[in-house]
Structure 1
Amino acid sequence: MKKLISILMLVFSSFIFASSDANSASMMRTLKVTGTAYISAPVDMVVIHISNKDTKRTYEEAFEASKNALIKFKHELLSKGFKEKDLKTVDFNINTKYENYKDENGNYKKRFLGYQYSHNMKLNLKLDNSKLTKVLNSLKTIKGQSEFYLSYKIENTDKIKHKLLEKAVENAKNNSKIIASASDVDLKKIISIDYSSSQINSSVSPFRGELKIMGTNLNSDSILDINPENLKFEDTVTISWEIN
């Protein structure tokens, strides 16, 4: 009988101890603080986005025209010191082209015009106005309708991402210390760190142009006034602390 009573008391004591631990865990006080970091960095690359298109009577003529335009443009680039692999095709297609018109009865109809090819390309350069001018002048050798726009970017953003994370964590820690001190509590251990990686914008496009309105020749002075703004980056990290 005494042995049975001893066992029951031991079980009861263990239950009380476990309940006490559970209550302590549920009563844990926490502090959650989000740190934010901002970085502004200058661009170091320029991307020339090129669009060339033309309409021909037959599919074969459209394909041949697109091929000849590309060959001539590449030849111009090679003569100016660029490599053939520098020019990348983004998209190429040949589609039928129609126009809407009214017949003698005022009804809208479609008229077949031919086959239009569209060739979208891009060329990446280190920030260099003289090379940029050479490419833009070479574009004038392409037959058909050609347009372009420039986008400026940062080639390698990994260092920026790492620096953002460091600054965001540092900001979260500093803010936590300030809040804890002002609230007369002590920071203990970190319970969790929440971070969701996001895609950062690494380019800006300040200039667009059509070759037919840019005059007969360009020189480096024509584009020196283009001063791309710095790219701005932001990131956040949330830290949860146990406090007492």
Structure 2
Amino acid sequence: MNRTLIITGKGKVSATPDIVYIRFPILVNDVHYATAVKGLDGIVASLRNCITTNGINKNELKTSDFRVNTQTKWNDNTKEYEFSKFEAHHDLLLQLPFDTELINNTTNDIVKLERNIEFQISFGVKDSTIYKQLLIENAISDAKKSAAIIAHASDIKLKEILNINYSFSEITFRSDLNYSYDSCLMETNEKIMPDLNPDAIDVNESITITWRIEN
């Protein structure tokens, strides 16, 4: 039976954000289904027109979720839940390059629309492939260094690698920094965008390597 040494190496990479995600959770309430949906369509049309005037292709605004829920309320007289309203949701996502002027101009124009539209801003990395490769390389390098130190201190010899175990889940390069705009908190004519400067995005993963060893 082979004698083995099992080491887990840890990899870490830091990526500089180069894209911005702007999420728009649009909500319309109405007692009529058609009116609620038309209300959503009107807001989305205004939003698409707004981003177009800032030089952004309207097709860049993508739907991430659409649903219409029925809301009820309790009737003390009948002791039953009764229909209250339709709650229509249309969540959209706009991905832009990290261009401060473009972001400021676009969001400030959105804030000035007659329809109050709330949004959240987060940051990410457009091409994460190179960072994922570095993450694996760093984890393997860390495991090898640790194995070499242990082998030297224990007076054993590292032989061939018997197994490499890594099961990276879907790695997401997203910044922890999020900025939210609530239409209830600010006047529509205010310049609301601060000077956003997100930190680098740190991602950690691990790889476990098994070596055969000899004295």
TM-score between both structures, scaled by the size of structure 1: 0.76
CA offset at residue 117 of structure 1? 2.1
Give the whole-Å Cα distance in 2 for the aligned partners of 1:238 and 1:228.
32
Distance 2:37 2:11 in 1: 51
Determine the structure 2 residue equivalent to 1:7: none
Percent identical residues: 27
Residues 1:215 and 2:187 are matched in the alignment: yes
- Gaps of at least 5 residues in structure 2 are none
Query: Does the 8 A contact of 1:133 with 1:218 survive in 2?
Result: no
Per-residue displacement from partner, 1:154-175 (whole Å, max 9, x unpaired)? 1222111110111111111122
Q: What residue in structure 2 maps to residue 235 of structure 1?
A: 205
Q: Mapping of 1:1-244 within 5 angstroms?
A: 26=1, 28-100=2-74, 112-140=83-111, 141=113, 143=115, 146-203=117-174, 204-219=176-191, 222-224=193-195, 226-244=196-214
Query: Is the CA contact 1:187–1:243 (under 8 Å) kept in the aligned structure 2?
Result: yes
* Cα displacement string for residues 20-41 of structure 1 (whole angstroms, at most 9, x for unaligned residues): xxxxxx2x33222222111222
Higher-helix-fraction structure: 1
Counterpart residue type for residue 171 of structure 2: I
Between the two proteins, the alignment pairs up a number of residues equal to 212
Q: Is the 8 A contact 1:77 1:135 kept in 2?
A: yes
Structure 1 or 2, whichever has the larger Rg, is 1
Larger RCO (CA under 8 A, 6+ residues apart): 2
- 1:8 corresponds in structure 2 to none
Distance 2:70 2:4 in 1: 66
Question: What is the SS of the residue equivalent to 1:213?
Answer: coil
Aligned alpha-carbon RMSD (Å)? 2.4
TM-score, normalized by length of structure 2?
Answer: 0.85
Compute the displacement of 1:112 (Å).
Answer: 4.5
